Amino acid sequence: MSAVEHFDGEVKSGDAEYWYRSGRKKAEGRFADGLFTGTWTWWRDNGELLQQGAFVAGEQHGLWRRWHDTGALMDEGEWVHGKRSGEWTHYDKLGEVRRVVTHPAR
């Protein structure tokens, strides 16, 4: 894997990008004070989306989505300060709703 990361002293800070050995992008996002921040996106080695979501101060926070290897949405839901919150919808590989799970509101 290859990476481009920026540092403020010894702490990761700013944009970051990671690639598979194949040369395809694996992930991109930002660091602030060494912690994940803002929207991050991950891809499979074949270039298809794997997951996307946001962080606040290193914790998952906001809407997150993951995709099956077929390209269909796998699941989506909200994170609040690192914990699943509210309604999460899970889909099968054809994109049909498989189940809906309600997590405690945070």
Report the pLDDT value the prediction gives residue 1, as an integer from 0 to 100.
73
Q: How much of the chain, in percent, has pLDDT values that exceed 70?
A: 100
Beta bridge partners of 52: 41, 65
Give the tens place of pLDDT for each residue, 26-76: 999 999 999 999 999 999 999 999 999 999 999 999 999 999 999 999 999
Domains within the chain, CATH numbers bracketed: 2-103 (2.20.110.10)
Separation between Cα atoms, residue 79 and residue 55, nearest integer Å = 9
Look up the pTM and report it: 0.90
What is the pLDDT, as a whole number, of residue 61?
A: 98
